[in-house]
């Protein structure tokens, strides 16, 4: 894929994932105890059908925003598999801390959707070396949050290291900006039992798209992601583990984080009704320094992107009407 004309100075940082949950109380407790997020504050968020409570939580250098939507349709694996949009947040833990984190989850009674220990208590390596090229393979788990919503966690995974034939040779070194180790652990004021010596960082967002090539081009052109690879992969369907799910997958990179796309050609386009009235993983928020906002707005307007102004930034809709928010200045300020 050709490099896009995206302005090289516009460097996003991952800021947060927006989740719709049934109960803030329940979810603040879950994300705090299980993943080490600390509650920063609560606000009100405005939707077409009225306002709702929003809680902003922080772990290391990134955030999660929980919106309380008690009347929304509960999360289901069937709806996960049969719609498009932002599907899962993936966090990375160092390989040498993976088993410790896994055991912590097990001790807390966390439900494993993928990557549960076997009968003998062994922690599985889900993707073997042959599939991903990573020596020793990759350990991966999907766990369910308080509403059953999947969160993915994997060991060290920098796919560009394992794919020597990358079409975009520059992608591997594009905007390298490692997160300082002291920004990866739970906040100093965090009071839960999440192990302080386990650094969790944002790795990628999983997105279901209708047309993989179209979405790859769009994310390159509009958001400056770099295409790393595409392949056919076999996964387990969350709604039926007996059916092998053979799907076209692509990995893209922007700065130090990734987007993982799954091609689901038969799933319907996202719509506001579904977005607002179902629980689950809803939006990806990237932050951009304030002095770059005007440049980005002009670039996206010239490109005829579907954008809407929101407080502190903009929302952009991808070809499947999946939304990505871009806001913020200082990443630590907790912009919406």
Interface residue list for Fe ion (CB under 5 A): 90, 152, 206, 260
In the beta sheet, which residues pair with residue 56? 41, 65
CB of 62 to Fe ion, least distance (A): 16
CB of 294 to Fe ion, least distance (A): 33
CB of 40 to Fe ion, least distance (A): 26
CB of 327 to Fe ion, least distance (A): 24
DSSP three-state, residue 109:
coil
Q: Which is nearer to Fe ion, 6 or 208 (CB)?
A: 208
Q: Give yes or no for a contact between 189 and 166, defined as CB atoms under 8 angstroms apart.
A: no
C-alpha pair distances (Å), 331 with each of 80, 82, 94, 205, 335: 30, 34, 23, 18, 7
Q: Which is nearer to Fe ion, 166 or 249 (CB)?
A: 249
CB of 284 to Fe ion, least distance (A): 13
How far is the C-alpha of 305 from the C-alpha of 308, rounded, in Å? 10
CB of 203 to Fe ion, least distance (A): 8
Q: Which is nearer to Fe ion, 63 or 142 (CB)?
A: 142
Q: Which is nearer to Fe ion, 207 or 336 (CB)?
A: 207
Q: Give yes or no for a contact between 209 and 261, defined as CB atoms under 8 angstroms apart.
A: yes
CB of 324 to Fe ion, least distance (A): 16
Question: Residue with structure tokens 């300020």?
Answer: 333
Task: Compute the CA torsion angle 199, 201, 203, 208 (nearest 10 deg).
Answer: 120
Closest Cα to residue 37, out of 66, 74, 14?
A: 66
Question: Residue with structure tokens 């990179």?
Answer: 253
Q: Which is nearer to Fe ion, 145 or 260 (CB)?
A: 260
Task: Compute the CA torsion angle 64, 53, 27, 184 (nearest 10 deg).
Answer: 20
Q: Which is nearer to Fe ion, 205 or 278 (CB)?
A: 205
Q: Which is nearer to Fe ion, 260 or 263 (CB)?
A: 260
DSSP three-state, residue 332:
helix
Q: Give yes or no for a contact between 316 and 324, defined as CB atoms under 8 angstroms apart.
A: yes
CB of 262 to Fe ion, least distance (A): 9
In the beta sheet, which residues pair with residue 285? 16, 325
In the beta sheet, which residues pair with residue 151? 143
Question: Residue with structure tokens 């394992």?
Answer: 162
Q: Which is nearer to Fe ion, 6 or 75 (CB)?
A: 75
Closest Cα to residue 107, out of 217, 212, 195, 239?
A: 195
How far is the C-alpha of 133 from the C-alpha of 152, rounded, in Å? 20
């Amino acid at each position: 894929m050709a490099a896009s004309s995206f302005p090289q100075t516009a460097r996003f940082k991952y800021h947060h994932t927006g989740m719709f949950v049934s109960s803030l109380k329940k979810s603040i407790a879950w994300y705090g105890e299980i993943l080490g997020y600390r509650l920063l504050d609560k606000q009100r968020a405005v939707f077409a059908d009225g306002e709702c409570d929003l809680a902003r939580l922080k772990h290391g250098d990134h955030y999660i925003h929980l919106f309380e939507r008690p009347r929304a349709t509960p999360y289901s694996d069937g709806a996960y598999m049969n719609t498009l949009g932002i599907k899962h947040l993936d966090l990375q833990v160092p390989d040498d801390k993976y088993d410790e984190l896994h055991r912590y989850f097990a001790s807390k009674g966390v439900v494993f959707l993928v990557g549960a220990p076997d009968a003998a208590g062994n922690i599985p390596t889900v993707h073997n070396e042959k599939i991903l090229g990573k020596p020793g393979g990759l350990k991966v788990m999907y766990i369910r949050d308080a509403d059953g919503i999947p969160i993915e966690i994997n060991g060290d995974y920098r796919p560009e290291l394992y794919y020597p034939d990358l079409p975009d040779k520059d992608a591997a070194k594009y905007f390298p900006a490692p997160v300082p180790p002291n920004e990866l652990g739970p906040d100093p004021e965090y009071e839960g039992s999440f192990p302080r010596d386990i650094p969790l960082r944002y790795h990628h967002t999983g997105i279901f798209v209708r047309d993989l090539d179209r979405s790859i081009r769009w994310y390159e052109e509009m958001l400056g992601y770099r295409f790393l690879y595409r392949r056919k992969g076999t996964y387990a369907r969350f709604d039926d583990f007996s059916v092998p799910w053979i799907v076209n997958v692509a990995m893209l990179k922007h700065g130090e984080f990734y987007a993982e796309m799954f091609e689901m050609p038969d799933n319907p386009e996202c719509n506001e009704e579904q977005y607002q009235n179902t629980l689950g993983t809803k939006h990806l928020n990237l932050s951009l320094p304030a002095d770059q906002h005007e440049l980005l707005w002009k670039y996206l307007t010239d490109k005829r992107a579907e954008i809407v102004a929101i407080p502190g930034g903009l929302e952009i809709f991808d070809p499947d009407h999946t939304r990505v928010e871009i806001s913020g200045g200082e990443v630590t300020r907790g912009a919406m």
